[in-house]
Amino acid sequence: MNRSSNNKPPLRRLASPAAVLAAVLGLALAACGGTVPPPNDQLASSQAAIRAADEMGAGSDPQATLHLKLAREQLEKAKQQMQAEDNESATRLLQRAEADAELALALAKVRSTQAEAQEALKQVDKLKQTGVK
């Protein structure tokens, strides 16, 4: 048999060289911080989405107002995270802020379109009353 005199099994290979290298590289990246760059583009995109929702009148619709408020809060939290150099969290907050602002914009557009449709129906009713077909 291949066993030594103390009856212990032979040592097995614990890991392949590639696995060891991957683990060492992973630890090295973690030690270096693997820093995420500041999400400046996402910040600008989120701010633009909030401005667009504001300009479309999201503040006059209760649901849109709620989402716009959430977007602003997330934007402010993201700025704080960026100052603390937690750019990964800041990126996620900015993505949520942009999504909430876009939802507020969509809700405002729906409200505006519904108002325009109501106005058009009123015009049709007026024309019918005057006898125009």
Q: Which helix (H) or strand (E) holds 66?
A: helix 62-83
Q: Among candidates 31, 32, 38, 35, which has minimal Cα distance to 81?
A: 38
Return all residues near 4 (Cβ < 8 A) that are at least 6 apart: 10
Instruction: In whole angstroms, give the CA distance from residue 97 to residue 91.
Output: 10
If one compares 15 and 59, the residue with the highest pLDDT of the two is 59
pTM of structure = 0.67
State the first-to-last Cα distance of the chain, in angstroms, to the nearest integer.
Answer: 105
Q: Quick one: CA dihedral 80, 83, 86, 91, positive or negative?
A: positive
Taking residues 114-120, what's their average pLDDT? 87
Task: State mean pLDDT over 69-82.
Answer: 97
Tokens of 52: 């667009």
In this prediction, residue 130 carries a pLDDT of 87
- Residues 85, 46: contact at Cβ < 8 Å? no
Give 78's contacts (C-beta < 8 A, 6+ positions apart): 39, 43, 46, 89, 90, 91, 93, 94, 97
Q: Which of 1-10, 56-65, 89-98, 106-115 has the highest mean pLDDT?
A: 89-98
